[in-house]
Chain A
């Protein structure tokens, strides 16, 4: 560590000099593992790919494990944030920018130039780095690898290796350990292995299941209702129907119940794959999220716009999938549109009637605005003003969403920019799923972060380490519980608090939000006088 804030972009003094000998060896091992992949990328044809792939992934994992053990196990249990703002990688120094650029480049290649990775097209065999992964893919699903298999494997390896690191870092904190074990489990099982096994099922002609991350829900999983996806489910017998049903029940039943009981954290920081990467590999960047009020404003507009976009896109997709002939299938276009309209109006009306006072001014205007626009589009359709449901062809809407939101926002910006904007950029500004869960968390949930009376010393550790950019301190120093739609319940604010002020918990809805002008510990009469107003 240079012990100076990294203002300079100088190349002269990277941080490596502060690593211990063991850590240097660990870094070397990890880079050696990556180097094998780079060689493969440059079309070095390894003789026995299975061995070299194992070696490559093994070295990366072993390097991370050795590094973590040396970094954390030699110290007493406790908060390990020493030097975070002195290290180039975690304080937007030269290493951070370099990593950001490499990651962004990787995502651009992955999404738009997969042939550079060696993706074989038109039935040709894979080459390059993708071919290196062929043995593993063959083993799991019996198919050759694809760019998405390479990505999924690396993604899972990152979560497992850095998850281990995170668990050592917080080895005094069981909440963090359990949460991390949970995301590691869901990533490895639900997001990685099960879909590969489903692909094996598809070898049989009775099955045509879409590649489907079981824990991934609409609207995060925006392609759930795409025609190929629906067709896949419907042509896969009872299992397919069951899975489609599960997808729909997840959205309308399971998720609302769990969010009511535990807050959106049950998904965002315990199950979700995006969250899993953010919490493990992205942990070193959580302090980079902006806590400015202006960032919060941007967040609210952006995330809800994406939500509206994804809702409109999905409605349009399903609309074009359905026929208009009532004899063919009970769910016709008009029935579908009307029921969606009734549902949205109901949700909107309920919030406006019962929770109006809990919404900020701009939230009210925003909600009314969005509602009016959607209603107008519906009306135009039914009055025959336009043929297209939302003025644009649904397929265009779908591909625009897939490109701008699905690929560029969540991948390139969301993950590529980890080292610059923090590890939850996508979750905070873009994820429509987070927006839905967040709305419920803010209005109908037992979850809150409780503030411990008057104990806050306004130090700012909680706000600094909030990956979602919530100014936790602003609430804690008012003795006010934190009830924010964006909170993913990672629990780090509570962990880093040096005075034991914050506790994540599920309790009754009553008195969940309790702003206090005067905190506990002062004159009782004065507290009554000021706080009861």
Chain B
């Protein structure tokens, strides 16, 4: 029986395993050094916030794996010998594979800041990060102030988390406005205000210079690059993005760049070795997508595709229209299609914001053809299916504005804003 070994029990690896099991009777082993069972990484924040216990983040009950004959192995892979198809563990254990899937995800970026390895300094990605957070920032007596460096999705989540335990937070953002490399100005500035409304000390255009240690090797304070200001703190969150977690492949024959290099079939340079999820790097970009996509949904989609290939139905990885979502404190964010922070050449933005400063949308469209290209929506839920269809049908922005109500996904009895949006649209840039 062919033995499929998957390194990594995150959404990518587990999706692959589940689909292989649906399609075949192959022997499947999932290896992890993080947790015994699959959990939802994106839900770790809710455990710290007390919304859930860790066990609630596990999408399948513990009996699921045995019932579906998916073997789980807890261990840290130290190296891979692709000629003999052998995986070696840190404790000198080893196993053989027929096909290998690398789905090891990411690790938090550290850009060489002095003091970045001190106690109380960490990113937020792994279960272990959550455990450490309970050690260094369990409450506002142990942690009198926390500093977060890096203004992206993980940074704002960490700020929200610490805030729920009444720990004062200073949030250092390198950019002039929160996540403005991705979000258009109006949205980014609305989120700035929302962050401040939660009493976060948001510092824009501010860089971390250095982390200072106390006599026990624990963080004592940070120094700001621009002003030289020293901010005393007991915890530093490094949230300047993530990068592929592939150090264990250094001495293998598997070709890597920032991530494991794969073609459109998710194959590496070595036969029978595949890579998916956060740790995979496409050799050529797919449309507007980045070479490495550290996103839950893309990890899952790669897993769905790869399972087909492994089970004999060789398939290219062809993600459909881009979509994503996040939540910034109380404001939900969804995006369908492509909206760039500044409209691409030949494109235009339409922006609407509600007076209460918690809802807005931005639509990107082609200035010449008026074809709708994408939407960012804040504080209003929209239907994935409808936008996916409109993007496929290449609807015009006028059509989208006229039919926006069909895409509404807010709960029943919620106030609707389509009329207001449409009239703003008409007064701003009626094109027909």
Contacts and interface: CB of A to CB of B under 8 A. Distances in A.
Contacts of B46: 459-461
Contact of B43 (A86, A172, A458): A458
B319 A85 contact: no
Q: Which of B305, B325, B330 has the most CB of A within 10 A?
A: B325
A517 interface: yes
A170 to B, nearest CB: 10
A76 B330 contact: yes
Contact of B51 (A82, A494, A499, A500): A82
B99 interface: no
B346 to A, nearest CB: 26
A522 B50 CA distance: 34
Contacts of A496: 51
Interface string B184-209: 00000000000001100000000000
Given A293-B61, A517-B22, A523-B305, A82 B412 contact: no
Given A521-B388, A524-B320, A499 B139 contact: no
Contacts of A450: 409
B329 A500 contact: no
Contact of A460 (B52, B165, B315, B414): B52
Nearest to A1: B50
B323 A458 contact: no
B376 to A, nearest CB: 13
A118 B19 CA distance: 65
Contact of A3 (B50, B316, B326, B412): B50
Contact of A500 (B56, B300, B409): B409
A523 B197 CA distance: 41
A464 B59 contact: no
Contacts of A495: 411
A521 B301 contact: yes
Contacts of A84: 50-51
Contacts of A499: 325-327, 332, 334
B152 interface: no
Contacts of A463: 56
Interface in B385-399: 385, 388
A439 interface: no
Contacts, number: 175
A350 interface: no
Contacts of B126: none
Contact of A457 (B42, B61, B165, B414): B42
Interface in B295-329: 296-297, 300-301, 304-305, 308, 313, 315-321, 323, 325-327, 329
A3 B139 contact: yes
A500 B330 contact: no
A5 interface: yes
Nearest to B50: A83
Interface string A57-96: 0000000000000000000111101111111000000000
Given A78-B329, A503-B409, A460 B381 contact: no
> Interface SS of chain A: helix, strand, loop or mixed?
loop
Q: Which of A4, A5, A78, A496 has the most CB of B within 10 A?
A: A78
Contacts of A172: 330
B50 A526 contact: no
Interface in B151-206: 164-165, 197-198
Contacts of A81: 49-51
Contacts of A474: 59
B359 to A, nearest CB: 11
B94 interface: no
A473 interface: yes
B343 interface: no
Interface in B22-60: 22, 40, 42-43, 46, 49-53, 56-59
A505 interface: yes
Interface string A442-459: 000000001011110111
Interface in A117-147: none
A460 B56 contact: yes
A211 interface: no
A453 B388 contact: yes
B301 A522 contact: yes
A221 interface: no
A282 B390 CA distance: 43
Contacts of A459: 40, 42-43, 46, 52, 57
A351 interface: no
Interface stretch (A173-181, A230-238, A335-343): A173-181
Contacts of B409: 450, 452, 500, 503
A79 B330 contact: yes
B119 interface: no
A144 to B, nearest CB: 43
A326 interface: no
A477 interface: yes
A369 interface: no
B316 A82 contact: no
Given A83-B164, A505-B412, A454 B384 contact: yes
Contacts of B413: 174-175, 178
Nearest to B322: A521
B49 A82 contact: yes
20 contacts: A1-B165, A76-B330, A82-B49, A83-B164, A85-B51, A174-B411, A175-B414, A452-B385, A453-B388, A454-B297, A455-B297, A500-B325, A500-B409, A503-B381, A503-B411, A520-B385, A522-B301, A522-B305, A523-B319, A526-B305
Q: Pick the 8 closest A-B CB pairs, nearest first.
A: A453-B384, A78-B330, A500-B381, A459-B43, A523-B318, A83-B50, A174-B413, A82-B164
Given A82-B164, A459-B46, A459-B52, 16 more contacts: A3-B165, A5-B53, A173-B411, A457-B42, A458-B42, A459-B57, A460-B43, A460-B46, A461-B43, A491-B411, A496-B51, A503-B381, A517-B22, A522-B305, A523-B301, A523-B317
Interface of A: 1, 3-5, 76-79, 81-87, 172-175, 178, 292-293, 450, 452-455, 457-461, 463-464, 473-474, 477, 491, 494-496, 498-500, 503-505, 517-526, 529-530
Interface of B: 11, 19, 22, 40, 42-43, 46, 49-53, 56-59, 61, 134, 138-139, 164-165, 197-198, 296-297, 300-301, 304-305, 308, 313, 315-321, 323, 325-327, 329-330, 332, 334, 381-385, 388, 409-415
